[in-house]
Amino acid sequence: MQHDGFEAPYRLEYTYRRSTGPVIGRFLGALRDRRLEGVKTSAGRVLSPPGEYDPETGEDVGAPIDVGPGGVVTTWTWIAEPKPLHPVARPFAWALVRLDGADTAMLHAVDVGGDSGNIRTGLRVSPRWRAVRTGSIRDLECFVPEDLSARTEVRTLATESSGPVAMMPSSVQLDYTITAGRHLSTYLRALATKRIVGGRCPSCTKVYLPPRGACPTCGVPADAETEVADRGTVTTFCIIRIPFDAAPFPPPYASVAVLLDGADMPIFHLVRGVEPEEVRMGMRVRAVWVPDAELGPTLASIRWFEPSGEPDASYESIEGHL
């Protein structure tokens, strides 16, 4: 189909560290030692992966017990095109595997040689461990159709213990292709020429920025292009004090919502040229554009905002736009 909209790859990615708690931490520590653990509830059910409490009664669970290492596939789904972060590079199955001695099943990958004809409910599987283990669910690379050598290998190492895991990195990575569509493409193209274009609703007259094509309140097309100013008023703000990998500047710095003159929706951007402690609601700011040679169809054409020197706007002038 012919269209004049932009399309671009987009990756949403962030890694944080999370505490595991005593039960999951112990489970992850056992994985590092090539052991699989469960916990027993007061009713005698064995949960693996372990839970911190009995999901049926809310009671505490008992001490850890070894389960597996073998198990049985209770259900599965086939992944014909693995993604880069998947644990198996060739086609594989995500499966629920009920480990021997457990009453619940754990979700993990099953590598059956890339052929979906080899996976079935009821298949006996055993774990394949990574050579280098860090105390992560990824230490268990995947399950494979059971064979005795894998089972023997695990049993010989079952007495190791390196203790529970207290913290774990937790990574999120999502790859998209973003299709901007006609209205957002118009907005992006205008930014390459130092113009900021919103879309006005003919019914309620609100100017949406970026333009959305339709007014979510009135449910009518809101495609009347309206140019707004490259200066405006800070409606809300946030001072970033914690460093992170993608930070544009060393902290502290301020991220602001700016209600541009002529728009009814604030945009989010950075403010410079003022101490973070002095950033405030109602502060008047103006856009600092990148040099002409660096302009492009992106909000990054505005490097940041800086104080314009005008008197602060009243709270009443922004209270309907927060």
Q: Is 201 in the site for Zn ion (CB under 5 A)?
A: yes
Stretch that binds Zn ion, among 20-28, 171-179, 212-220, 266-274 (CB under 5 A): 212-220
CA distance 48 to 73: 14
Q: Is 204 in the site for Zn ion (CB under 5 A)?
A: yes
- Which tokens in the block code for residue 150? 């894998």
Q: Is 209 in the site for Zn ion (CB under 5 A)?
A: no
Report H helices in the chain: 21-32, 148-156, 181-191
Q: Is 167 in the site for Zn ion (CB under 5 A)?
A: no
Of 110, 215, 270, 271, the one binding Zn ion by CB under 5 A: 215
Tell me how far, at minimum, the Cβ of 268 lies from Zn ion, in Å: 22
Which position has the token pair 């609601």?
281
Q: Do the beta carbons of residue 111 and residue 92 sit within 8 Å?
A: yes
Tell me how far, at minimum, the Cβ of 197 lies from Zn ion, in Å: 17
Q: Is 285 in the site for Zn ion (CB under 5 A)?
A: no
Tell me how far, at minimum, the Cβ of 140 lies from Zn ion, in Å: 53
Q: Using the 8-state DSSP alphabet, how is residue 115 labeled?
A: -
* Phi, psi for residue 189 in degrees, rounded to 5: -60, -40
Cβ closest to Zn ion, residue 57 vs residue 217 = 217
Tell me how far, at minimum, the Cβ of 201 lies from Zn ion, in Å: 3
Total of residues contacting Zn ion (CB under 5 A):
6
Cβ closest to Zn ion, residue 47 vs residue 209 = 209
Torsional sign, CA 179, 180, 185, 191: negative
131 exposure class (CB count in 10 Å sphere: 0-12, 13-18, 19+): exposed
CA distance 20 to 107: 18
Q: Is 218 in the site for Zn ion (CB under 5 A)?
A: yes
* Phi, psi for residue 271 in degrees, rounded to 5: -125, 135
Q: Is 263 in the site for Zn ion (CB under 5 A)?
A: no
Tell me how far, at minimum, the Cβ of 202 lies from Zn ion, in Å: 8
Q: Is 140 in the site for Zn ion (CB under 5 A)?
A: no
Tell me how far, at minimum, the Cβ of 220 lies from Zn ion, in Å: 6
Q: Using the 8-state DSSP alphabet, how is residue 104 labeled?
A: S
Q: Is 314 in the site for Zn ion (CB under 5 A)?
A: no
CA distances from 8 to 67, 177, 198, 204 (A): 47, 6, 21, 32
Cβ closest to Zn ion, residue 26 vs residue 206 = 206
Stretch that binds Zn ion, among 4-12, 32-40, 130-138, 214-222 (CB under 5 A): 214-222
CA distances from 305 to 40, 121, 140, 180, 193 (A): 58, 59, 49, 24, 17
Q: Is 203 in the site for Zn ion (CB under 5 A)?
A: yes
Stretch that binds Zn ion, among 104-112, 199-207, 228-236, 258-266 (CB under 5 A): 199-207
CA distance 48 to 96: 11
Q: Do the beta carbons of residue 268 and residue 256 sit within 8 Å?
A: yes
Q: Is 290 in the site for Zn ion (CB under 5 A)?
A: no
Cβ closest to Zn ion, residue 224 vs residue 229 = 224
Binding region for Zn ion (CB under 5 A): 201, 203-204, 215, 217-218
